[in-house]
Amino acid sequence: MSSSSQPVKTLSLPEKLGLVSYRNQSKSEIKPHIRVKTEICNSTCPHQCTTYVCPANCYTKDDLGKVHFQVEDCIECGTCMYACDQGAVSWEFPDPEIGRGVTWNFG
Domains of the chain: 27-103 (3.30.70.20)
pLDDT band (50, 70, 90) for residue 106: low
Over residues 3-27, the mean pLDDT reads 70
With DSSP H G I counted as helix, E B as strand and the rest as coil, what are the percentages for the chain, rounded to 5? 20, 15, 65
Amino acid at 8: V
- Does the structure show a pLDDT above 80 at 30? no
Write down the pLDDT at residue 23: 60
- Does the structure show a pLDDT above 90 at 20? no
Could you give the angle at the alpha carbon of 88 between the alpha carbons of 85 and 91, nearest 5°? 95
Range picked from 4-8, 9-13, 43-47, 101-105 for highest mean pLDDT = 43-47
Over residues 33-47, the mean pLDDT reads 93
pTM value surpassing 0.85? no
pLDDT tens for 62-101 read 999 999 999 888 888 889 999 999 999 998 876 666 655 6
Backbone angles phi, psi at 69, to 5 degrees: -125, 135
- Alpha helices (H) along 1-107: 13-17, 38-41, 50-53, 79-83
Write down the pLDDT at residue 68: 96
